[in-house]
Each structure stands twice: as C-alpha cells, then as structure tokens.
Amino acid sequence: MTVQALRRGRPEVLADLLDRFGRDMQAVAYLVVRDRAAAEDIVADSLLAALDHGRSLRDDDALRPWLLRIATNKALRYRQRAARVVELQVVEGAVAQHSGPTADDSLALWQAVRDLPPRMRAAIGLRYYLDLPVETVAEVLQVSPNTIKTQLKSALAHLRIALADEPMPVAEVRHA
Amino acid sequence: MRDLDDTALERRLREVLDERLGALPLDLTAETLERRRETRRSARRIGRGRGITLLAAALLLAGGALAAGSGLLRRPAVVPPVPRSSVIALATASPDGSSSPSESASPTPSPIPVAGPGGVWIQAGSMVTPRGDFAAVQLRDGRVLVMGGEDAASGETLTSAELYDPVSGTWSATGSMLKPRFGFPPTLLPDGRVLAGDSREAADVTAIGSEVYDPESGTWSSAGKVFTPSRSVGSDGFSATLLRDGRVLVAGISGAKLYDPVSGTWSATGTMVTPRANHTATLLRDGSVLVAGGNQLEGSCPDCHPMPRKAELYHPDTGSWTAVAMGTAAPSSRFGWWASLLRDGTVLLIGDSPYLFDPTSGTWKTVAGWPEPGYPKALLPDDTVLLAVEGPSCPAAALYDPHSGSLTSAPRRLRCEAAMGGPGEYTPLLDGRVLLAGGSDCIDNACASIGEAELYVPAGVSLPPFSFPSPPAVEFPTPTPAPTPLPPADGPVPPHARKWTVTVDNRSSEPATMWVTDGDNGTLVGSATPNVVPAGATVKVTFLFPAEGGWIDANLRPGEGGGLLTQDQIGIPGKMVITPEGDTTWVSPAE
C-alpha cells in the first residue's frame, strides 16, 4: 500500500513513511551532518522529495534503500554547503574526567567515528547501525560493493589508530 | 581497545552506534511534515519564474558545441553537436545500405552522415512548455504529439500539448486538451487522429473520459466516457492497443472497452480473466492481444496487491479473453513491465528479467544477459532494446539484443539529470530514432521541469540535417546556493610534509584526478604529483601530507567519492585501483 500510494503521490503516505523509516534516515543523516536539528530537516526534506518522485520507484523492496539514498545524498550535500563555517563546540557527552575504561572507550570510539570523512560515516552507519548488507550499502551510496569494503576496512583501521591517541579531548573543531 | 581484532571492534562499534544513535529523539511528526509540504507548494507557486541556476550553465556548456544561431540550420551533411566525453563516428552510406565508420566526416561529395557503432545522441531543441511524465505519440506525418504531463515545480497536471517536427527539429504549441489526461496511453487512429483518455485515481473522478486530437485543426474534442469506476480502487495503469480493424482496446481494473473511431462510440468487450493495472498489452501478428504482468490492486492483503500469475490473450473476433500460463516467466515484480513485438513475431516481455513469448507454441523462454538495474526504453528497428542503466552518476545507455542476450554500451545521454530528477520520456520514432524529452531536475528542494530534448540515432540511421541553438536556461522556483568551489587539482606543498609514493592503476576510460584533502570538507591540504592519472594508465603518484593529517581522494569527477586512505596508513602494502566503473578501491597484494 505504501509504495502504491507513494507512486501516486498521495500525501497521506508521509505519516507511514515517517513511522517506518524516519529513525533510520535520521541516524544516517545525523552521522553525516553531526547536527540533530539539521538531521531532522533532512529527514523531512527527504520524505517530501520521495513523495514528489515516488513515481520512479519500481518495487517494494527498493523503498528502504531508496529513502536512505535520498537522505544520505541530502545530508552529504548539506555537509558540503555547510563546510564553510567553522566553530568550536563542546562535544556532547565529552567530559574531562574519565569515569572508567568502558566509558572512555565508548566516547573515544564515538569521537573517532565522528572524525571520519562524511561518506565513510554514512557507510559505517548503514553497515553497522542499520545492519545493511554491503551490497545494499553500495546501492545506497551509489558505488560498488568493493569500494564499500575498502572504505569500511579503511574506517576500521582509522578507528583503531585513533583510539590509540587517547586521552580524549574535551572539545572538537566542528564544521557546522 | 587498540588490541581488538576486526570482529571485536565491529561489535564494539555496533554497541556505540546503538547507544548514541538509538537514543536520538526524533521530534518530527506527520503534522509537521504536512505543514512543510503545504508551505513548499505555496512557495513554489509564488517563486515560479524566478532565478536561474547553475544548471543552466551546465546545459549551456553541454550545448556549446551547437554554435548557437549559426548558419548551420537546415544545411545538409552537418556534423551533429558533439556530446562531451563522446566520440561520434560518422559513416558514409554505401549503395548496399551498409556503412563504414570513420572518425570524421566523409571526404566524399555530399555524404549522408549516419550514426556510427553504438549510435549517437544529438540535441533536439526544447519544448515550448517544460514538463515531465507526459504522454507522446508520433503522428502519421512524422510529427510527435506531446500532451499533458506535470509541472515539476508546482506539481500541477498540464492540459497543454505541443508538436515536435523531427524534420525541421522545431517544437510548436498546439491546442490544449479539454482536461488534464494523465497517462492514458495515447493511440494513433487509422485516420490520423489521436485518442487519449484519463487514467486517474477513482477517488478523483466520477468517470474516466477520453478525447480525440485532430492534427488537421490542432484541436481536441470529447470522445465520451469510457468507464464509471465502481470500486474504490485505483484506476491507474490502463493499456490501450490499436487493433487490426482500427478499433482501440482499452483494458484495466475497471474493465475492457473497445473504441470505434468510425462511430465514435465505446462498447464493452468481455472481462479479463484477471483484471489488472500497470500491465503490458501487445498486438500479435494474428490480431490478438497479449496482456501480461501488472498488479491486481485488490485482494485480502491491502499492502501487497497480488500479481497475476498468468498472462492472457484477447481475441477481437469473439471479444473473449483466455489465460496463458507463464511457467517460470511468472512475474515477481508488480511494476515496470515492458513488452514489444519483435520482427519474428515473438514478444519480448521484460519485468525483473527478460522473457520471450512464442505465440505459435504458447511457450515462454528466459533470455539471459539483462543488466540490473536496467530499464527498457524503446525497441529499435533491428530488434535491439535501448535501455537506461543506473550508474554511480548519470544513467548510462546500453543496447540489449534479446535474441543473443548480449549487451553493448551506447553513448551517454547528453543530459545528466540530478539524482532526484525525473528522467524524461522516450518516444520511439518510425525511422528508428528515439526522442527523449522533458523530465525534471531538483536542487535541494527546488524542482523544475526540463524542456530540452535529444534524439538517439541508432547505428546506421541518417543524422538529421539540422542543428539547434543552445537550450534556454532552466528556471528553478527558488534561488539556489552557489556551487562549492573545487580546489585545484595540484595542491600546496605543506610544511613538514610526509611523503608517500603509491601506485595508481586507472582502469577506467576517463582520467582520474588525485587529491589530498582534509577528508571532511573537500579542502585541499596537500599535493599529488602527478595529480592526473590518464585513462588506462598505471602511474606512481607521490602524495605529500601535512603534519596535521589528510586523506587521499581519487576521483574521476571532482566532488564524488570520499576519502580513501589517511596518512596514518602510509606504507600499507598494495595499490590504488580506479575500476572501469569509476570507483576507487585499495587492492592489497593478497587480493
């Protein structure tokens, strides 16, 4: 029903899309743009864009990757446009005192993920948060599965290296 | 944590992502979305006609080779506009009809240029009214009637119509339709008129009507009511087929009707075995019609409209329908079906993969070689299928031979629509060429219809003796931000640089540019020497990284792709490979 309604551009489908896919789209968008409000905007814009272009959707199985692709593309474009402004922000959850090895590790890993390039962050989110197969990640990001494998391998290597650089900073230079 | 193996690191990464992303609140509601939708629609209406975007510049650039306003119009034997990144091979037609390609215009006197191997795309002017999702049909005099469609900026359905003249290469307005007929396949009647009709949501209309276009007067007149939808199901997806006796069969969920162009009346004609929508309908050599694919738009499961497992035949002499078993060709996709009659009388049916139906034996055969995702667009005179193949950027064009299952590449289209844009409509012409016109492009949230058109000229078909001025600028409803300036290919040599020499194997057909960026914003922070690796070449490239770090990007087209390797990974064994598809990968010696 959802795909059919989407193909016909029926606006009532938006609520269903938001309910079923909104959080997934938000997660990937947030990983790319690192801003919660911007990520929500991207989810909204992506769903409205999907409504405009639902006619191009071919089958039910393509719906989720298609929506994720729209959200990811919009997030990457947002990132590119917003890259001019640089500001210093305290990293959410970062504390000067390390409360224990597990918390430190978790924060360090999260910080390292945030420091990856945007496309790599998107790949990480799609693969390790949404548990999408490599082939689907490749479909969403419109590159080959081999490229995704390489990027994931490279990302893991980078995370491992970054984790060796503790102690954690309490702030990061953030590109808003 | 640095001692974790990959599996453990991946597990820990999943936990952290669950913890951080799973806790993100999502304040967006359906009501907010609806408000934004309304706001956007209003803004588009207000903003129409304002602003010219960078896309216009791109289009002008693409059309630059056309020598705007030059004296080339109607001059015979003119070399057509050359698409960027393409080579047009011209051939001189020989008396026996064969052709021999060459890389330049033939030196022989007054040759008729024909498209070389793979064919060629040439510009075909611009529509009077840019639009997408329209219907089109070629008239008896060769002109193409384009009708209805949608304005991408406002989302409004159009009633206007226009004509494309493939001889002069010009577009001109003609009479508007009485109502916005949205997608009912137009059918050329034997007397030269065109029948078109509704295909709207049942909830939107109380009756599905039709009208007829008269090319002599350029006007439309009502052709009467076709159906009165009795069920609250979608009535989208009718087929319309011109029968051998000149009548038109229209079939869909709401029933099957025949239009008699002589009496101008509609009459019921049997009931489909499985009433369906979004199906194909193909006139066979014996005069019957093969209906296949589609979906039923009803059933106990509203979320999964059942797919008809069988095809069926319509017999015009008796007005009856009979089921046809499909065996292994039974559909597994509800949408996107395409079918056409081949020269040997078999039917090529393409759903998720291609099948051949032999009407004489009533059997189906699977055909190999179909690309995924590939979208059939037009059947060419030699039985090959022109199709669009999704790629990492612009969709590529390819030719598919259903008899051998072989696939060959065709030149890229001239226009590359944005990721969210509509692809335009393909209309096969009787001389073998294919008209591709309209569509839409979107930048951020602003969509605009495209008016430009192009012609695909298959190999061996004569090129038209005209050229076109540059297409007009495309107007978007709201101003769009300036493009992000691209950094120079060869960047600065940073102080305290770290040097790394890497083998780059460019297996693609385009030169690849090397960058050292900050990996996040695309800002250039280092250098690569040489910074361009020619197509098909293997070159050692020396990268200089700044002390604060950087990423290697290697792209065929700047702005695509992300960081590949960091300076932390300097010295890892292997080489960088640009694949034929344009992806950048790192290949370790073990691979």
Question: Mean pLDDT of all residues in chain B?
Answer: 72
Identify the CA nearest to B325 among candidates B370, B282, B355, B296: B355
The partner residue sitting opposite A158, judged by closest CB among B484, B523, B568, is: B568
Do residues B505 and B581 both lie within one domain? yes
Mean pLDDT for B167-180 is 88
The partner residue sitting opposite A110, judged by closest CB among B16, B236, B566, is: B16
Q: Out of B312-321, B326-335, B363-372, give the one with best mean pLDDT.
A: B312-321
In this prediction, residue A45 carries a pLDDT of 85
In this prediction, residue B180 carries a pLDDT of 75
Mean pLDDT for B281-306 is 74
Cα(B253)–Cα(B231) distance, integer angstroms: 9
| Domains identified in chain B, total number | 3
Do residues B505 and B583 both lie within one domain? yes
Residue pLDDT, tens place only, B351-366: 777 889 999 999 998 8
Do residues B458 and B516 both lie within one domain? no
Whether A15 and chain B come into contact, CB under 8 Å, resolves to: yes
Task: Give residue for tokens 């008896």.
Answer: B140
Residue ranges with strand state E in B403-451: 406-410, 425-428, 434-437, 440-443, 446-449
Q: Domain containing B59: what range? A: 6-84
B428 is a domain residue: yes
In this prediction, residue B194 carries a pLDDT of 95
B291 is a domain residue: no
CATH number for the domain harbouring residue B562: 2.60.40
Q: Out of B54-58, B91-95, B317-321, B393-397, give the one with best mean pLDDT.
A: B317-321
Full-model pTM: 0.51
With CB atoms and an 8 Å threshold, state whether B562 touches A151. yes
B448 is a domain residue: yes
3-state secondary structure of B378: strand
In this prediction, residue B5 carries a pLDDT of 79
Task: Give residue for tokens 């990457």.
Answer: A76
Q: What is the largest CA-CA distance in chain A?
A: 55
Higher pLDDT, B384 or B442: B384
pLDDT band, very low/low/confident/very high, at B460 (cuts 50, 70, 90): confident
Weakest mean pLDDT among B82-86, B193-197, B298-302, B438-442 = B82-86
In this prediction, residue B171 carries a pLDDT of 94
Whether A98 and chain B come into contact, CB under 8 Å, resolves to: no
**pLDDT higher than threshold 70 for residue B375:** yes
**pLDDT higher than threshold 70 for residue B445:** no
**pLDDT higher than threshold 70 for residue A128:** yes
CA nearest B374 in A: which residue? A58
In this prediction, residue B357 carries a pLDDT of 93
Structure tokens of B501?
């020499």
CA nearest A50 in B: which residue? B420
B37 is a domain residue: yes
3-state secondary structure of B356: strand
B195 is a domain residue: no
Mean pLDDT for A105-134 is 90
In this prediction, residue B108 carries a pLDDT of 34
Do residues B31 and B73 both lie within one domain? yes
**pLDDT higher than threshold 60 for residue B4:** yes
Higher pLDDT, B569 or B508: B508
In this prediction, residue A122 carries a pLDDT of 93
B255 is a domain residue: no
Cα(A107)–Cα(A95) distance, integer angstroms: 9
Residue pLDDT, tens place only, B24-57: 888 888 888 887 777 666 544 333 332 222 222 2
Higher pLDDT, B208 or B303: B208
Do residues B503 and B553 both lie within one domain? yes
**Residues with Cβ < 8 Å from B12, sequence gap 6 or more?**
A105, A109, B1, B4
Weakest mean pLDDT among A82-91, B139-148, B237-246 = A82-91
CA nearest B482 in A: which residue? A81
B359 is a domain residue: no
